[in-house]
């Protein structure tokens, strides 16, 4: 596990984008797992800039998004389809056929659809690099507390905390989605490399529990401790409750000197 402590939100976005861009340069057919949410905006802004100014090529990149609200059309301004189009896809040269996002308009047969989503990931050869944010309650994707740590892509009820956190993006009085389709923890743990990003004091407790707490379904991000290649890129506020910072700084220094490609 690598913990990269950055000064602020902007540096978190730049560092994550640098790693993603490096991965695409090394493998033009990168299978990239994507997340939505405010934490990702800076990452996608920088990837779009690198595409426009440095020619970063997305023409062979294949993407799989973690999740989508259920009962929300792809044209809805708060849908994750819309978010991805606005913040990344419209700004880079990725072909439509290479983009996979769970369908939020499903009305039944969720299990069959979710199995197809898993099959599409397998058919593509698995996900090489997965971007993750984290909820205040420690969720990754929409794997809310007490999700099975072996879970696969499925329909999931959102927790009251997540509904409250995300309500601010919906119009006043508008009905909030209560469920989502999300990749499972088991699905996420099969990806080859994971970058989890977090910024702000509201994430500090979830980050400390995920990195230094026991592996527990009550904080689903703690399952990442079982992954062989996970990098947490967090700002000072999100890292404020960590107790082993000198050790993380030492590992980071050694990584920068011995394996610089891990961070670029
Ligand atoms: C979104 C997702 C969620 C978010 C998390 C953090 O695709 O999977 O787990 O990453 O809720 O959201 P923000 O970045 O808005 O705090």
Instruction: Summarize pLDDT for 155-204 with one digit per residue, the tens.
Output: 999 999 999 988 888 899 888 999 999 999 999 999 999 999 999 999 99
Scan for tokens 């189009």, then name that residue: 85
Residue 238 — pLDDT band, cuts 50, 70, 90?
Answer: very high
Architecture in CATH of 2-263: 3-Layer(aba) Sandwich (3.40)
CB-ligand 1 contact for 42 (6 Å cutoff): no
Q: Distance, CA 134 to ligand 1 centroid (Å)?
A: 5
Residue 108 — pLDDT band, cuts 50, 70, 90?
Answer: confident
In angstroms, the CA 175 to CA 179 distance is: 12
Any idea where the domains of the chain sit in the sequence? Answer: 2-263
Strand partners, 156: 180
Q: For residue 202, how far is the Cα from the chain centroid? A: 17
pTM of the predicted protein model? 0.98
- Averaged pLDDT for residues 201-218: 98
CB-ligand 1 contact for 37 (6 Å cutoff): yes
Bridging pattern class, strands 179-182 and 154-157: antiparallel
pLDDT at 34 (0 to 100) = 99
Residue nearest to atom 4 of ligand 1 (CA): 133
CB-ligand 1 contact for 140 (6 Å cutoff): yes
Pocket test for ligand 1, best of 79, 134, 180 (most atoms within 8 A of CB): 134
- Averaged pLDDT for residues 7-35: 98
Q: Distance, CA 133 to ligand 1 centroid (Å)?
A: 5
The dihedrals phi and psi of 140, each to the nearest 5 degrees, come to -125, 140
pLDDT at 168 (0 to 100) = 86
- Alpha helix stretches (DSSP H) within the chain: 9-26, 41-54, 80-87, 110-124, 160-167, 185-189, 204-212, 245-258
Which residues, 6 or more positions from 243, have their beta carbon under 8 angstroms from its beta carbon?
208, 212
Which residues, 6 or more positions from 10, have their beta carbon under 8 angstroms from its beta carbon?
42
């Amino acid at each position: 596990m690598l913990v990269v402590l950055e000064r602020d939100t902007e540096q978190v976005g730049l560092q994550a984008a640098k790693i993603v861009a490096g991965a695409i340069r090394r493998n033009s057919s990168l299978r990239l797992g994507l997340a939505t949410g405010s934490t990702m905006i800076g990452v996608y802004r920088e990837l779009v800039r690198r595409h426009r100014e440095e020619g970063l090529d997305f023409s062979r990149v294949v993407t799989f998004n973690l999740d989508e609200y259920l009962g929300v059309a792809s044209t809805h301004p708060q849908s994750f389809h819309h978010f991805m189009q606005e913040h990344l896809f419209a700004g880079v040269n990725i072909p439509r056929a290479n983009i996979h996002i769970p369908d939020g308009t499903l009305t039944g047969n969720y299990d069959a659809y979710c199995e197809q989503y898993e099959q599409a990931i397998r058919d593509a050869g698995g996900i090489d690099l997965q971007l993750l944010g984290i909820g205040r309650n420690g969720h990754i994707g929409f794997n809310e507390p007490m999700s099975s740590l072996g879970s696969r892509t499925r329909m999931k009820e959102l927790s009251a905390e997540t509904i409250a956190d995300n309500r601010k993006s919906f119009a006043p009085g508008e009905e909030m989605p209560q469920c989502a389709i999300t990749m499972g923890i088991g699905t996420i743990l099969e990806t080859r490399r994971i970058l989890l990003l977090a910024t702000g004091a509201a994430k500090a407790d979830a980050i400390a529990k995920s990195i230094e707490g026991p592996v527990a379904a009550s904080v689903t991000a703690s399952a990442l401790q079982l992954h062989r290649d996970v990098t947490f890129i967090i700002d000072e506020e999100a890292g404020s409750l960590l107790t082993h910072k000198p050790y993380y700084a030492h590992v980071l220094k050694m990584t920068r000197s011995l394996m610089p490609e891990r961070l670029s």
